[in-house]
Structure 1
Amino acid sequence: MKHIQISALLITFNEEKHIDAVIKNIDFADEIIVVDSFSTDETLIRLKGFPRVTVISRTFENFADQRNYAIAQAKYDWILFIDADERIPENLRQEILNVVKNTDEIVAYMFKRRFFFNKKVMRFSGLQSDTTYRLFRKGYAKYDENKIVHENLIVDGKSAILKHYMLHYCYTSNADYKRKMEHYASLKAKELYNKGKKFNLFHLILRPVYKFITNYVVRLGFLDGIEGFNICYLSAYGVWYRYKELQRLNSLPKL
């Protein structure tokens, strides 16, 4: 059977905690490209230990822009896009290799993700139904650059969901997750501002409350214990921070 070649892509910034493990995890790819936003920790130093990896330093504008740039650098027809804090277990690895060899009509695949807070699996808290595109044919998909955070992949063709789960080690501490929420919230506020959205107190007060109640009560976050409370609280905090930042942007003088 003909070998189908895969390009594995990452975008990184200060990922020294994860970079060794994720590169080893995707060593089945035929090429690995890392687009790094001038990391200030040991990410780039560690990457020098992987001679197969192509490293490109590029200024970060937003997630969609950086991901589309990475796609343009890939040589092969199938793209595997992975974040540094994600891992592909052996069963998912075999499923990936099987579908790229045997699929004709499907041009993009979504992965289900299993979230971890440190080493604890998070089964609820609004995380139980998460899926995201991670495997697709080059030329049939690109990220919508109108959405600069929580990127949306535009797929020209049929897509499907793989059976096995990707592992997502997104939460190592409350402080780490809080920083991520603030970063994402700032980009989302910029996206809203660019669309002409205006701040109001409803956003700042009721939307965070709604987010917390939805994830903690309706989506059973309380069953995840104290970790579930922390994640639901910090997710709500991210919503609050988004609209606080939109308020700041709305208050800037018009140029």
Structure 2
Amino acid sequence: MAKRSRISALIIARDEARNLPGCLASLGWADEVVVVVDAASRDETLSIARQRADRVIVRPFDDFASQRNAALDAANGDWVFAIDADERATPALAAEIRGVVADQKAPHNGYRVPIRSEILGRPFSYSGTQDDRPLRLFRRGRGWWFGTVHETVSLRGSYGTLSQPLLHRTIPTMNVFLSKLNTYTSLEAIEFVRRGRPVRTFDWTVRPFWTFAKLYVGKRGYRDGAEGLVFCALSGVSVAVRHWKHRELVLRAEAQGRAA
């Protein structure tokens, strides 16, 4: 009789005490749950993880890929399933994943998973992440993460796509939206500097308006109501902010170089 494949669910978390219990509750079907907690967490994230997860790692945040790879290194399952603290695995998705990993002749080493988002308390159908299908399920030893901000999986072998979505309850309030905007734009600006990307006026003047138009008109974000308008507008603002922060970092470095 063939040995049953085991699944490790991997989560990275910082200040996720509000979201983590619901995420963990949606993973009762997993054989192992590994949580990597940012050492800078200021709420009850760590205690919640220690109460409910099988394995908890505390490490200082360096970048998202490194956090996820730390969870991957600690996992024991034959397959790994990556999920964020503000996401939920539905019973239908759990059943589909179980079916895939149970197939000893599964044709792929990894699977993309559709995302269904709720933003500012409203389910989005047009301008959110409903077209996203990140690679979240793969055979352990066949994939790893790379990228400091918008990390992705480097997979050895082919991938398929699951039909059942993850539920993503992201950005519940304006305060959270603005906090995430500030955090991610800073990380993106640092990454631009690391890669030696040149500062271009186009990026912080024209590109933000193009981003808004692409989401609000091209993807019909106007059909997501007032929340869609705000999401599309702030998505454009975030583009301007990250490129302006990039400009600030470059100008500061140039000034320091002249002063040295």
Q: Offset of 1:128 from its aligned partner? A: 2.9
Contact 1:126–1:219 (Cα < 8 Å) also in 2:
no
Percent sequence identity is: 33
Question: Does 1:78 pair with 2:79?
Answer: yes
For 1:14 and 1:215, locate their aligned partners in 2 and report how far apart those are by CA, in whole Å.
29
Match runs of 1:93-108 below 5 Å:
93-102=94-103, 103-108=105-110
What is the match of residue 225 of structure 2?
Answer: 225
TM-score, structure 1 length as denominator? 0.94
Aligned Cα root-mean-square deviation (Å) = 1.5
Contact 1:111–1:133 (Cα < 8 Å) also in 2:
yes
Q: Offset of 1:95 from its aligned partner? A: 0.1
Q: How many residue pairs are counted as aligned between the two chains?
A: 252
Q: Offset of 1:89 from its aligned partner? A: 0.8
Contact 1:198–1:246 (Cα < 8 Å) also in 2:
no
Question: Does 1:164 pair with 2:164?
Answer: yes
Q: Offset of 1:117 from its aligned partner? A: 2.0
What is the match of residue 247 of structure 1?
Answer: 247
Give the 3 Å change call, closer, same or farther, for CA 85–243 of structure 1 in structure 2.
same
For 1:123 and 1:37, locate their aligned partners in 2 and report how far apart those are by CA, in whole Å.
32
Q: Offset of 1:155 from its aligned partner? A: 0.9
Q: Offset of 1:132 from its aligned partner? A: 0.8
Question: Does 1:29 pair with 2:30?
Answer: yes
Q: Offset of 1:120 from its aligned partner? A: 2.1
Match runs of 1:163-182 below 5 Å:
163-182=163-182
Q: Offset of 1:49 from its aligned partner? A: 2.7
What does the per-residue CA deviation read over 1:1-24, in whole Å, with 9 as the maximum and x for residues that have no partner? 642111111111000111111111
What is the match of residue 90 of structure 1?
Answer: 91
For 1:119 and 1:212, locate their aligned partners in 2 and report how far apart those are by CA, in whole Å.
20
- Detail structure 1 runs of 4+ shifted over 4 Å in the superposition: none
**Structure 2 unaligned spans of 5+:** none
Q: Offset of 1:196 from its aligned partner? A: 0.8
Q: Match of 2:241, as an amino acid?
A: Y
What is the match of residue 184 of structure 1?
Answer: 184
Q: Aligned to 2:232, what secondary structure does the other structure show? A: helix
What does the per-residue CA deviation read over 1:57-102, in whole Å, with 9 as the maximum and x for residues that have no partner? 1000011111112111111220011000011111111000000011
**Structure 1 unaligned spans of 5+:** none
Contact 2:111–2:161 (Cα < 8 Å) also in 1:
yes
TM-score, structure 2 length as denominator? 0.92
Give the 3 Å change call, closer, same or farther, for CA 118–203 of structure 1 in structure 2.
closer
Q: Offset of 1:126 from its aligned partner? A: 4.7
